[in-house]
Structures are given as C-alpha cells and as structure tokens.
Amino acid sequence: MHLVDNQTLTEKGQQTRQRILDAATELFHQDGYEQTTLREIAFAADCSTGLVYHYFSSKEQIAQALYLDLGEALADFNLPTSRLDERYYALMVARLEQFAANRETVAALFAAAMKPQSTVAFTGDEQWYDPMMQIIMTVTTKAIDAPQDQQAEHMSNTLYAIYLLITLFWLYDRTPHQRTTHKLLKFMSELLRMLRPMLLMPMFSGAIAKLSEIVQDVFGSSLQADPTRLPQSGLD
C-alpha cells in the first residue's frame, strides 16, 4: 500500500497532510475508528473529501500513516547508556505510553493487519517500512552489552517480533492502565537480562539465529533497518 512521502510534499502539502492526520486522531479518539468516516475527517480538517483522497486512499492508510509518524517521533526519545534489557524496557514503556493516547488508531491498524486480504500488513511490502525496526536496532547495537556483528541483527529481529506480540497483548489487556502488560514487559526484561550471557554459547546463539530467520520469512523487508529513514536521535 503506497503512502505519500511527507518529505516530497511542499510546505503547504505537509501542513494539509498533518491537518488531516490531526483531525483523524481526534475523531478516532472521540467517536471510535469504525464509526469515523473519511467525509467526517475531511470536514474536521476543513478540506474536501477529494483532497483527503489525494493524500490517503483509505481510512486504513490514515491509521498506518499515524503509526509511522508515532514511530518517527519516538526516535527523539532519550535512552541511557546501559544494558540491552534496560534499554529495551525503557523503549517499550515509552512506546506503550505513546500508544495509550492513540489506542483506537493502534487497535484499528493491528486489526486490519490481521485480515488476510488487508492492504495493511507488517510484512515485506517494499512500500512498508516500520521505524521501530531501526529504533530497536539502535537500542541493541548501542547497549553496553551489545551483541556482536550478525548476532545484533538476529537479536533485533527477535525483539521486533516481541514488540509486536506485546502490543497485541496490550490491546487485549483490560486491567486498569494495562498493568498486566507492564508486568509482562518487566518479566520479559528480566528474562532478556538472564539470557543475554547465553549468546556466548553457540547452541543458544544458533537458536536465536534460527528464530530470526523465521521472523524474517514473515516480515521480510520490514526488518531491513535503514538509518537514512530516521533522524539522529537520543537513542544513541
């Protein structure tokens, strides 16, 4: 599914695109994703429905654009120089806080991605690039206990898959403030800390490599981290 590249737009075009996204975010939060129409988004953004279609071919595409913008905004998040488990935990806490203000959008995007015929998918579509992959790669390679060489790529692929699974768990979590998800996240952080030294063992590092290959088969080019797609950030 093709998305208009914000960087290729004129300043006026960028402002119009952002106005549409801001209107969609407000309506998704206020009325719910399913109840919101493109016509209502256009009215709230003070533009024609045709102009909305110029930037976004569907409501799903608006949800995807909002998700991508959230990921790029997260690139400015400051992380301490510390162990991988601590950096990944801090990143995920920040991500869930970010998602909390956009729950309808995130839920709609993940629901759409799980439909077999949907144009939204966390897969190897050359038009799809998830900024979270590059962020997780940076979190991994800049840790004080960073895995070496290809191990870092394998670990990043695995952590990206875990990120998606935790997000799904968070969406289903009905406990107050999704506290059970935060318990799960804390547990995953502790588990990662215990398992990190085992990467020195060929048997364990081989298992991570095999898991990474499995993840790669599903997500394909989405996992091709591209530093040029993100600004310099505090993640380093």
Read off the pLDDT of residues 84-135 as tens digits, 9 standing for 90 and up.
999 999 999 999 999 998 888 888 888 877 776 666 655 545 455 688 888 9
Instruction: State the pLDDT at residue 118.
Output: 63
- The segment(s) of the chain belonging to CATH 1.10.10.60 are 6-57
**CATH 1.10.3720.10 corresponds to the domain 62-229:** no
Q: What is the mean pLDDT of each run of 10 residues along the chain (236 residues)?
A: 60 90 89 89 93 89 86 81 93 93 84 70 57 90 90 91 93 94 95 88 88 81 49 52
Look at residues 155, 172, 132 and name the one whose alpha carbon lies nearest to residue 213.
155
Instruction: State the pLDDT at residue 216.
Output: 81
Instruction: State the pLDDT at residue 57.
Output: 87
Instruction: State the pLDDT at residue 29.
Output: 83
Model pTM above 0.85: no
Instruction: State the pLDDT at residue 185.
Output: 95
Right CATH number for 6-57 from 3.10.20.30, 1.10.10.10, 1.10.3720.10, 1.10.10.60? Answer: 1.10.10.60
- The segment(s) of the chain belonging to CATH 1.10.357.10 are 62-229
Structure tokens at 159: 């952590």
Tell me if 229 sits within 8 A of 129, measured CB to CB. yes
CA-to-CA distance for 190 and 168, rounded, in angstroms? 20
Instruction: Identify the residue whose tokens are 């998704």.
Output: 28
Instruction: State the pLDDT at residue 230.
Output: 46
